[in-house]
Each structure stands twice: as C-alpha cells, then as structure tokens.
Amino acid sequence: MKHLIPKSESLQDTKARSSVYWDEVIAPNLRAGKTLLVVGHENNLRSLIMRLEDIPREEIINLCLPRAVPLAYRLDENLKPLDREDGKLDEATGYLRGEWLGGDQAVLDILERDRKQVYDTTIEKNLETCDADRNKWKDWMNLVVGEAGPEARAKGIPRSQRRGEKAA
C-alpha cells in the first residue's frame, strides 16, 4: 500500500485537491456570511489564489507568497475578489487584489529576504533567525496580529515553571 503514495505533488494535483475543499467547505461558509482564515503551504495557497484571481497556469509559478503573512480579500456575491481601494494590484507580487496585513512594503521586504536566503550563494547566515531580523519579525507580527495573550504565553512556558501547577 505504501508504494501507492506519491513521492511528490504537482500544482495540478494540489489544485484538484484544493478545489474539493473550496467547493465543499470554503465557498459554502463564505456564502453563509462567515469570515474565514485559510492556512496552508505555499502550493496549496497558490492553487486557491490561482482559482480566486483567475491567474493563468503559465503565470502562477511566478507568484511567490511570504510565510505567515495574512492576505485579506473582500469578495463579491460570486466569491470573486473586489478591487483594492487604491484600484491596483498588490505591489509585493503584482498579481493580487487582496491586501497584505502589514502592507505591501513589508511583504516586499520578506520576499526579498527569502529570495536572498534561497538563491544568493554569498549569504553566510540565516536571514530569518539572526537576532536583528528575528526581533524585527517579532515586532512586525506583534503589530499585525497583536501581542500574545496570557493563554498563548502560558503554552510556551514549561509546565514545571508555571505558577500554581504541579509538574506532570
């Protein structure tokens, strides 16, 4: 049975799989007036955005998405994106009518950092984890999504160090 599991998944495979999720879960909930947060890996999100934005197959591979940066859409009654208030596509990718939380410039900076990290062979340190970038990222995320509440902070503290709780 293990031999039947594919070793990889193409964008076409991902699109077929995500289309089922769009049709059976996302679209019905949007039509019911719910606000949704969709989280996934880049290819999965790319396949959903491809459908949402009507980006052609030969162009979608050029769409780079930053990790962990929310993209907000306003949709019409047909679940198609409404134009941004400025009437333009986003400046970070040049493809999208959604709005990046934190703004286009922050996403441009992240995408440039990621491009350097992957393709620039002169880079000698991890640009995501060096102290200055880590604090910049943490500060930016706190601005976008807010400070972590007490529950989230508590989950990051080992049980043995929590006040009033006994170690398991």
What's the pLDDT at 56?
93
Query: How do residues 31-82 score in pLDDT, each as one tens digit?
Result: 999 999 999 988 899 999 999 999 998 999 899 999 889 999 999 999 999 9
Model confidence at 138: pLDDT above 80 = no
Model confidence at 160: pLDDT above 60 = no
CATH code at position 59: 3.40.50.1240
For the chain, give the percent of residues with pLDDT over 70: 76
Rounded Cα distance, 168 and 156, in Å? 16
Lowest mean per-residue pLDDT among 16-30, 94-108, 111-125, 147-161: 147-161
What's the pLDDT at 52?
94
What's the pLDDT at 83?
96
> Do the domain assignments include residue 8?
yes
> Do the domain assignments include residue 30?
yes
> Do the domain assignments include residue 17?
yes
- Convert 99-125 into a string of H (helix), E (strand) and C (coil): EECCCHHHHHHHHHHHHHHHHCCCCCC
> Do the domain assignments include residue 142?
no
> Do the domain assignments include residue 43?
yes
* Residue corresponding to tokens 């596509």: 89
Model confidence band, residue 125 (pLDDT cutoffs 50, 70, 90): confident
> Do the domain assignments include residue 111?
yes
Whole-prediction pTM value?
0.68
Q: Which helix (H) or strand (E) holds 72?
A: strand 71-72
Number of domains in the chain: 1
Is 102 in contact with 90 (CB distance < 8 Å)? no
Instruction: Find the domain containing 76 and state its range.
Output: 2-121
What's the pLDDT at 168?
47
Rounded Cα distance, 90 and 108, in Å? 10
Phi, psi (degrees; rounded to nearest 5) at 75? -115, 150
What's the pLDDT at 42?
87
What's the pLDDT at 51?
93
> Do the domain assignments include residue 41?
yes
Residue range 111-131: average pLDDT? Answer: 77
Contacts (Cβ under 8 Å, ≥6 apart) of 167: 159, 160
> Do the domain assignments include residue 163?
no
Helix axes 42-53, 11-21, angle to 10 degrees: 70
Higher pLDDT, 2 or 145: 2
Residue 136's Cβ-count burial label (10 Å; 0-12, 13-18, 19+) is middle
Rounded Cα distance, 10 and 43, in Å? 9
Q: Please name the amino acid found at residue 47.
A: S
